Amino acid sequence: MSREAQIWLPMEAATGPRVRTRIEAAVSAWASRWFTDRRLEASGWTVRSEAARGGTIDTVWRRPGAGVAIGCSPREESRILDWALDANLEALRPDANDRQVLDSFATRLTDDLVSELEKALGLSNADRDAGAASEPVVVIDLADAHGLRIGALAVPVPAVVALCKSLAPDAARPDIALTPRLDAVGSAEIALDVVLGRTRVGLAELRGLAVGDVLVLGTPLSGVVDLVDPRSAYTVASAHLTDIDGQVALTLQA
């Protein structure tokens, strides 16, 4: 048995509304810095093993490891550059030197997105370096409002666990002590049945009973009767029948 606490989180929590809101806000903040008229949407939200992050066959993952990674195909990366530069790079036909500059710019764009996300998750450099690259990840697809993809994100589940902990509300602690249970229900009213006695009759005899017939109980007139809770048939007390001012009363015995 392992002595170390294992990092675990239900899938619905790893992709729940609190996590989504924080990550979507980070993506929106990044998009507003680099694009003039593009609003990005996050979709998919699946938990996978790190080795099965997915993407297209030509997807290249940047910064894979314990931190946030972003995966883009060449076409998706070109789309990011087009939106950021407000240009059609394919029509401009960049040469080899231009391509080097564009590659560096693409790296800056994606690194900025990863940094924004890691800041939103509260990941420090030490946290990222200390994590294990084999941890499961939350994979999120990124696209604009028209469904044009620009890639996918892979967020380590341990980082999501830490985020959920930081966003969880404090446990409620009452400022005053709770009233003891018996005191709290002390004024509640209950009904009790008074059992004068018991007898046994056959079913045929019971069906033949008529007005004027007599059933003899097994309790003498001076005997003890039971006070019974009718809901549970539990005997609460025993008492003697007495007379007080012409009314039947009970004198508790036990």
* Residue whose C-alpha is closest to residue 70's, from 114, 100, 39, 112: 114
Query: What residues does CATH 2.30.330.10 cover in the chain?
Result: 190-252
Strand, helix or coil for residue 143? strand
Q: What is the mean pLDDT of residues 221-232?
A: 76
* Residue whose C-alpha is closest to residue 31's, from 103, 93, 87, 110: 110
**pLDDT level of residue 26 (50, 70, 90 thresholds):** very high
Query: What residues does CATH 3.40.1550.10 cover in the chain?
Result: 11-167
**Cβ neighbour number for residue 201 with a 10 Å cutoff:** 11
Sheet holding 40-48, edge to edge: 40-48, 137-144, 149-156, 69-72, 60-62
How do residues 177-223 score in pLDDT, each as one tens digit? 777 887 877 787 778 777 777 778 888 887 888 887 777 777 776 77
11-167 domain in CATH 3.40.1550.10? Answer: yes
**pLDDT at residue 76, as a whole number:** 92
**pLDDT at residue 18, as a whole number:** 82
**pLDDT at residue 9, as a whole number:** 61
**What pTM does this model have?**
0.59
Give the domain 190-252 fold: Surface presentation of antigens (SPOA) (2.30.330)
Q: Report the alpha-carbon distance of residue 113 to residue 123 in Å, rounded.
A: 14
**Cβ neighbour number for residue 119 with a 10 Å cutoff:** 12
